[in-house]
Structures are given as C-alpha cells and as structure tokens.
Amino acid sequence: MEKCAHDLTDWKLWPRNAITHRFSLEQAGDAYALMASGKCGKVVINFPD
C-alpha cells in the first residue's frame, strides 16, 4: 500500500480526479445503469452518515 501511495504522488495521479460521477444511495439504479453503459469513468455511490 505504501508503494501504491508513493507511485500515485510521483505520477501526480489523484484518485479524486478519476471519479467522474457521484450518486446518492437513492440513485443507485441510475449509477449502475451508467456503469453498465460504459460511458463513464469511476462512479461513486455515497451512503448516508
């Protein structure tokens, strides 16, 4: 894990920038449909606190 974190900073890759779409838990169906379409980068489903 340490090497992975080191590589990310060396290569200036930030995971936050890889996320293209964010959905609420209530929108999970839409999130899965988008993922299945292949027309997105990374999709995040946010769970309530």
Angle at Cα 23 formed by Cα 20 and Cα 18, nearest 5°?
A: 20
3-state secondary structure of 14: coil
Per the listing, tokens 């090497």 go with 3
Give the span between the Cα atoms of 37 and 49, in whole angstroms. Answer: 29
Assessment of whether the complete model's pTM goes beyond 0.75: no
For residue 21, the SS3 value is strand
> For 5-48, how does the pLDDT look when each residue is reduced to its tens digit (9 = 90+)?
777 778 777 777 778 999 999 999 999 999 999 999 899 999 98
How far is residue 38's CA from residue 40's CA, in Å, rounded to a whole number?
6
Other beta carbons within 10 Å of 30: 14
